[in-house]
Every structure is written in structure tokens, then in C-alpha cells.
Amino acid sequence: MPASKAVAAPTTPEKAPAMAALSAEDRFMQALQKMLGVSELTEDGMRDAIAKLTPEQRQQLLAEGQDMKKDIMTKKENTEERKLYLKEVNRSADENGMPVDKDSQFLGTKVVAFMQTSSDDIPHSQLLEWLAATPYLVKAALTEARDASASAAVAADLNEVEAALQLLRVPGWREGEATATTRPPYVRRNLLLLLLYLHRERLRAIPIAESTVAKSHEVVAKSRRLLDVFFAFSMQSGWTKAVLATTELQALLVNGLWDHADDDCHSLMKQKLHAVGLKMPRISVRATCKDVTPGEKVVLKVEVARAHAFSKAEAEAYSVAQKAEQAEEARVAG
């Protein structure tokens, strides 16, 4: 009987994608080993090694791993690898105080429930309520409550802010609407700190402790991170109303204003821009879509043009003001 000869098995269509994914993984591992100068890496060793890379090395490694990530995230046969990847991403995000998948899913559930019962735009007050109740922000509030040595929002300040919001008839705090007695304590705390920041110009007469102001800035910073994540989640889900509501709320949080349609907010925005040497922008929006029959998907094309007219000196003044604001935010956060 003639000796058997080893031959390469033919690649079937079913195995081809798996081999492509393996090739992408091999390229990533080879790049990592070359960068670190080692021939073998354990899972823990690889995580520690990546943490020690310089920013330039991380960028290079990221570029090498794009093919592998694309295969993992898009190919059906990589379901288990995708679960492991997302689990690791969520673990790392949780350890570093960042939002995770369950936060987007929590907000997504709220958005779906809203859209099933209403054809209106999502109110900012509603989105703020949902943000305040996310696991991400509730966890931060619980951590504060359990750490007796940490600075905290002063309860008397929150009571003063709540009373002022009721007098101002802010949505969610008017007579007959949801009150602090129907909101869980940590949701109430988060929401009041967010509203303190948004309505600070209207609440100047109320003396607020520095620790409460610091916590307000902290909750706003966390909310902006969460909105960034939810924006991507909404884009992927095709939720136009959620995308618009998220974008508008982000703008209000950035500028410390409570309503983009309020005349007082327009005046304050002019003052803020004037203080840094900018003029009010000229914005034009154009939206078009083709007629469709029932059941077809609508493709909506939106074009936004935003124009500022300012001199070189005004641009430099704006840059200086931006740096000062970032330094102040870093000081408060620290």
C-alpha cells in the first residue's frame, strides 16, 4: 500500500470566512508581538502590555486590528468571539467609569416605549429623566452615598433648587406632574444636579455650596459621555427623533442653557459668544425626501450649513477662552 501523502484540505465556502477572521487575528497578534518584542503572550500579559503602549503604538496597533474587529463585529460565524469582545469592552468601560451597553439599552427601551405611544418629538425634560435613571448615573450616586469621606451634594441645596424649579414651572416639576416623592432618591438627586447646571443663570439668587456645584459638573460630564454613546446607538438603530433629541440636549449641556427655543436663552447665548469674541452663527437647514408607498423605508436627506463671521483676533480670543474654560472644568473635577 503506497505511503499516504499529507495534502492541504480544500477550503470550502463555509470555512473561508473563518479562515479570513483567523488571518486577521494572526496579523493583529504578529503586530503586537513585534511591537513588544516577545514571541508568546498570555491573555493577562497581553492586557498589561497594551496598557503600557505609547499613544503612537496604540494607534499603530489599532490600525492593524481593524480587519479583525470588522470580522468579529459583522460575520455571523464569529458570534462567540463577538460576545467575548463586547464583554471585554464593557468590563474595561465599567472599570474606567464609562457607560456600558446596558445604559444604551436602558435608554433605548425608554425611547421605543415613547415612540410607540406618541408621534411627538422627544422632550428634553423626558430625556433628562431617563438619563438621571440610567444604571451609570445611579451607580455614581450610590457610590457617593456609601463613601462618607467623599464630598457630596448638600441636601439643603437640592431642596432649594427643587423649590425654585417648581416656582419656575420647569417641565417635570409643575403642579400635577411627577414630584420628588414619586422619583427614587438617586434619580431625584441626579436630575436636580443636571437642572441646576442648565438653569444656573436663573438660580443665581440661591447660594449653592461648592461641593454641590462640583457634583453638578460631575453629573453633567458623565451625562455628556452617556449621550455620546447613546447618539451612536440611536444612529445604528435608525432613530431619527432620538438622534435629534440627543444632539439638542448635548448642545444645552455644553452651553449651560435650558431651552433652545427660549428668548432668554437666545440672549444668554449671544452674551456667551460675545464674551469669547464670536458672533451668533447663521444656520440654515434643508431636508428632502422622496415619496414612498406604505411599508417602504423613507430616506431623509438633511443638509445643515453653519457660518460664523469673525476676525483673526476674535478667533484667538475664542481659543484663549476655551483653554480657560477647560482649565476651570479640570480644577472643579479635580
pTM score of the predicted model: 0.62
| Average pLDDT per 10 consecutive residues for the chain, totaling 334 residues | 39 43 55 61 66 73 62 57 54 58 86 89 91 88 76 87 89 72 85 93 89 91 89 85 91 88 84 75 75 79 70 71 74 64
Q: What is the domain count for the chain?
A: 3
Question: What is residue 38's DSSP assignment?
Answer: -
Q: Are residues 111 and 185 in the same domain?
A: yes
- The last residue of one of the domains, among 259, 294, 323, is 259
pLDDT tens for each residue of 145-165: 787 666 788 889 999 999 899
Burial status of residue 151 (CB atoms within 10 A of its CB: 0-12, 13-18, 19 or more): middle
pLDDT tens for each residue of 180-238: 567 888 899 999 999 999 998 888 888 999 989 999 999 999 999 889 888 888 888 88
- The last residue of one of the domains, among 52, 80, 96, is 96
- 68-92 burial, b if ≥16 CB within 10 A, otherwise e? beebbeeeeebeebbeeeeeeebee
Domain containing 285: what range?
Answer: 276-334
- 14-48 burial, b if ≥16 CB within 10 A, otherwise e? eeeeeeebeebbeebbebbeebbeeeebeeeeeee
Q: Are residues 125 and 245 in the same domain?
A: yes
Instruction: Output the pLDDT for position 2.
Output: 41
Q: Are residues 89 and 207 in the same domain?
A: no
- From CA 302, how far away is CA 285, in angstroms rounded? 7
Q: Are residues 160 and 65 in the same domain?
A: no
CATH of the domain at 204: 1.10.3380.10
Structural domain includes residue 111: yes
Cβ atoms 318, 278 nearer than 8 A: yes
Cα Rg of the chain, angstroms: 25
Residue of 46, 15, 52 whose CA lies nearest to 32 = 46
